[in-house]
Structure 1
Amino acid sequence: MKLNRSNLDKIIAASIPNQRNLNAQVGIVHLGFGAFHRAHQALITDVTMKELGGDWKIVGVNNWRAAGKPIPETGTEQEFAQQDNLYTVAVGENESVSLEVIGAVEEVLFSNQVEKILAYMTSESVKIVSLTITEKGYCHHPSSGRLDVNHPLVVHDLANIDEPHSAIGFLVAALKIRKEQGITPFTPLTCDNLPENGHVLKQVVLDFAEQLEPELATWIRDNVQFPCSMVDRIVPQTTEQDIAAISKQLGADDQCCVSTEPFLQWVIEDKFNNERPLWEQTSISNILLTDDVIPFENMKLRLLNGTHSSIAYLGYLAGYQTVANTIADPDFKTFIRYLMDKEISPSVHVQGIDLEAYKDQLIERYQNTALQHRTWQIAMDGSQKLPQRFLQTIQYGVEHNVSTPGLALAVAAWMKYVSGVDERGAAIDVRDPMASNFFHIWQTHAESLDEVVSAFLKLDTIFSAQLASNEVFKQQLVEYLDQLTQLGVKQTLQRFMQTHSIQIK
């Protein structure tokens, strides 16, 4: 039996949509229709329409061009269409799994369906265009936050604005049409892991529009709000084993399902151009509308994402395939908690949050064996993630006299990871837009780790000039890269904890 509308009344193992959300009209276009969005914003919007009504159905867009992949002949669009755009969210905590069928999606499109996508994005009924396009989808320099005008997608879109390939090109193209037709602009709502993500999105959109048509840039600056937001939920990449297990429990074949954890959080700057769903008024907790998202962003990016990436690079090099496997090792668990308490927490300042409880909860979330969150998946695109996950915290330490040797060790582990060879000599499939740069550094300077580190620090799209010139930071990187190379991760961690008098817990 296939999951679809005609079979909904036969589903007894899951919560299912009601007529409110099934019959609603489109109000949101989402760029980057991946597993995270389906388990987070789409689920929250689904519950909002179920409980409160409103026309907030979602049109999802998968931007394969921006991901550097060819447009597939079959894929997510067809799979969703075959299921009447229904899918299941499986919430797992160790051995317990609950299911919810989501009815918030109207249609899923590929980015080559430009005319149809822009028709939705320029419709008066669409009030929000949200994004989860990952850090690299912003076509920007992570160290400065400015648009990379030499990015191939940007070059293409500036010359062909009616046929955009990038998410930024789609936003500007749609806003241009709405301006020309006198339609109130939608609110661009970024949900990606970038510090001050709304400000970053505004900057790259304005940079793009300025290159395209300065008058358009002025109109966007005067008329369009770009709220910041912080999203939090661990959503691993869905595997064939996940699909088989969820379909079996559901009693229906679901090729579009996703797995996630019980925890969910969404903090949104209450700054919209027009109407929005009343997400914060639903039965879901941890949804907050606020005037200042930035402290929440820093907390999440540094404590969760920073330690997640530390687990990914160190854990993968040590041979651990998942976060749960890695954190089950007492050395890793102790090191990660040390990072949270001694090196990261001093840079986190957020009112109304019990930080100790938040850190305890993070460790519990990492230990959840229901989530087979692969270290390799988290390790992707490190060049786009390092500034906000590691380097800003290290810079805070430099400016406020907080020692951060553990974060330097994590950065050194990243440098070792992108060499493309793990500590057992096996090849690593490094997925990163700068992978060729890293390969060249290692090929050219492999005989001298000092030269390797120096070459990495010259990558000014990642490292700020201030941090790159910091001799203490550089020497820490050389020392830890040498230890990782000579001793491996486990012995390096043990030596680190002995040196810093950290008791294994």
Structure 2
Amino acid sequence: MSEATLERLNANFRKQAKYPTKVIQFGEGNFLRAFVDWQIQQMNNQGLFNGGVKVVQPIDKGMTKMLDEQDDLYTVLLEGKLAGKKVQSHEVVESINGTVRPYEDFQSYLDLAKDDNIQFIFSNTTEAGISYDANDKLTDQPQNSYPGKLTALLYERFKLGKKGFQIIPCELINHNGNTLKKIILQYAADWNLGQGFIDWINQENDFYATLVDRIVPGYPRDRAADLEQEWGYRDSLMVKAEPFLIFVIEGDQKLKQLLPLKDAGINVVVTDDMQPYRNRKVSLLNGPHTTMSPIARLAGIDTVGKVMNDKDFYKFVNDEMYQEIIPTVQLPQAELETYAEGVKERFENPFVNHELASIALNSISKFQARLLPTFKRYVAKNNKLPQRITLALAAYLKIYAGKADFEPSDTPEILAAFDKIKGATDYVQLALQNDAFWGEDLTKYAGLEAQVNRDLTVLDQAGARQAVQNINAGGEV
């Protein structure tokens, strides 16, 4: 069947009736559609939620019209490994039941406040989305910032005398719910909306902090035409995701009943403190990425998948997880080990071509955020250096000294600072003690400078693979 004869995905493909709108969602991008909307679909499939989503396009340009052209339907393609088993599946997601474009019809946006069925507000407006814009005014139609738009909607809801919302942002910033609430209260004060509204925000609305985790590569451009032939319909908004998902939500336990994700088999955690889970992800997923990137690239390996298919590097990454990272994270060991095994499956995903060069972007700030906390906890606990993280540090210093077959990719300020010192005889000392790189002087850690110099000697003379093999054998680099 030719592409021209395929029917575009439309309401004829629906298996469920449209449910009443229970969710307002700010954002229509790949991640929310493969994460939040997919989860709502799973609850609806099992009759646990019976609610739909009204999607608000948070910026002037977006994809809501494309959604409407497909009667708000699209396909989620899951590919990868989960619990040791290969997963390849697809599902038409029906949870979106309409879209709103505030830049075209602001009144339709405010009218969402009238709907008593709506209980939840989700968002993913990028990390920069939860920000304060001093130029926003209540009279704007619409406000520029997401918190400004949300404040206007909440004020409309308040004036109608209706109940508040469960507000669950998914932007990738720490304390996202608290930050969003703080900005909304700032607008309430700036716009002189009154103490009654402020009290209503505080008493009638719940703001949750979240940690979201699912790799969503997005539209599978290279295979889309073949997939459409296989499925028998055209879909301009198909989105590919890994099977793995975890949704950590910090806040009132009542959310378990209001939003029965766990009952639908979703990997969700509602907790009073999400920081250990954040530390777990940053340490056990982002940390090994940041460790493997410089060392494997120096050994001529270019993707995460190839790292995991290499006997030497697989052992190196596995041992980093179990010997250097897991003992430093304050969560039950069994839970950490289960997560680590899941991370390794994700790293091995044959359907995701994750290039180490992309991980290497802005490596110095990533080392500070993703590896240095583990390094410090390990040193404090064991009174010795973590060998693998230390080797990664040495590998970065080799690359930033201009001694690799590829160039480092970082901010102009970082690159300029390295250019000033990379030819110095005391290069390692100058680099380690630069708190602009690491947030502190790393030469204060006993033995670190000497070990980095030894690691660099091996990297220069024997190569990265030999350095890895030395550690794998249980010895010094």
Q: Which residue of 1 aligns with 2:307?
A: 326
Alignment of 1:72-471 (within 5 A): 72=61, 76-93=63-80, 97-108=88-99, 112=103, 115=106, 118-119=109-110, 122-124=113-115, 125-139=117-131, 154-157=133-136, 163-203=142-182, 205=184, 215=195, 220-269=201-250, 271=252, 276-282=258-264, 284-311=265-292, 320-351=301-332, 353-375=334-356, 389-397=370-378, 399-401=380-382, 403-404=385-386, 406-407=388-389, 410=392, 423-425=404-406, 428=409, 435-442=411-418, 447=423, 457-458=435-436, 468-471=440-443
Alignment partner of 2:10 out of 5, 20, 26: 5
- 1:185-219 deviations in Å (ceiling 9; x for gaps): 32221334455544454455556666666956665
Distance in 2 (alpha carbons) for counterparts of 1:279 and 1:489:
54
* Displacement of 1:425: 3.7
Is 2:15 the partner of 1:18? yes
Give the 3-state SS of the residue equivalent to 1:268 in structure 2: strand
Distance in 1 (alpha carbons) for counterparts of 2:475 and 2:139:
59
- 1:452-481 deviations in Å (ceiling 9; x for gaps): 6655x337xxx65xxx14434699589869
What letter corresponds to residue 115 of structure 1 in structure 2?
F
* Displacement of 1:256: 1.1
* Displacement of 1:101: 0.8
Distance in 2 (alpha carbons) for counterparts of 1:412 and 1:175:
51
What letter corresponds to residue 251 of structure 1 in structure 2?
G
Count of matched residue positions in the alignment of Structure 1 and Structure 2: 459
Distance in 2 (alpha carbons) for counterparts of 1:490 and 1:262:
40
Distance in 2 (alpha carbons) for counterparts of 1:134 and 1:345:
30
> Structure 1's 158 and 309: CA in aligned 2 closer, same or farther, altered over 3 A?
farther
Q: Report if aligned partners of 2:325, 2:374 keep a CA contact under 8 Å in 1.
A: yes
Q: Report if aligned partners of 1:227, 1:270 keep a CA contact under 8 Å in 2.
A: yes
> Structure 1's 165 and 318: CA in aligned 2 closer, same or farther, altered over 3 A?
farther
Q: Which residue of 2 aligns with 1:146?
A: none
- 1:272-296 deviations in Å (ceiling 9; x for gaps): 89984322222x2433444444433
Q: Report if aligned partners of 1:318, 1:489 keep a CA contact under 8 Å in 2.
A: no
Distance in 2 (alpha carbons) for counterparts of 1:490 and 1:170:
58
What letter corresponds to residue 236 of structure 2 in structure 1?
Q
Give the 3-state SS of the residue equivalent to 1:27 in structure 2: strand
Q: Report if aligned partners of 1:32, 1:133 keep a CA contact under 8 Å in 2.
A: yes
> Structure 1's 6 and 226: CA in aligned 2 closer, same or farther, altered over 3 A?
closer
Q: TM-score, normalised by structure 2?
A: 0.76
> Structure 1's 390 and 195: CA in aligned 2 closer, same or farther, altered over 3 A?
farther
> Structure 1's 423 and 383: CA in aligned 2 closer, same or farther, altered over 3 A?
closer
Q: Which residue of 2 aligns with 1:149?
A: none
Query: Which stretches in structure 2 are left out of the alignment for 5+ residues?
Result: 1-5
Distance in 2 (alpha carbons) for counterparts of 1:117 and 1:381:
42
Give the 3-state SS of the residue equivalent to 2:133 in structure 1: helix
CA-based RMSD: 4.5
Is 2:474 the partner of 1:498? no
- 1:237-291 deviations in Å (ceiling 9; x for gaps): 4341142343233222222112223333334345289984322222x24334444
Give the 3-state SS of the residue equivalent to 1:89 in structure 2: strand
Q: Report if aligned partners of 2:102, 2:142 keep a CA contact under 8 Å in 1.
A: no
Q: TM-score, normalised by structure 1?
A: 0.72
Bigger Rg over Cα: 2
Distance in 2 (alpha carbons) for counterparts of 1:29 and 1:313:
42
What letter corresponds to residue 5 of structure 1 in structure 2?
N
* Displacement of 1:324: 1.5
Distance in 2 (alpha carbons) for counterparts of 1:105 and 1:423:
49
What letter corresponds to residue 106 of structure 1 in structure 2?
N
Alignment partner of 2:47 out of 52, 59, 64: 52
Give the 3-state SS of the residue equivalent to 1:52 in structure 2: coil
Q: Report if aligned partners of 1:28, 1:128 keep a CA contact under 8 Å in 2.
A: yes
What letter corresponds to residue 35 of structure 2 in structure 1?
H
Distance in 2 (alpha carbons) for counterparts of 1:131 and 1:219:
21
* Displacement of 1:88: 1.0
Distance in 1 (alpha carbons) for counterparts of 2:211 and 2:190:
29
Give the 3-state SS of the residue equivalent to 1:19 in structure 2: coil
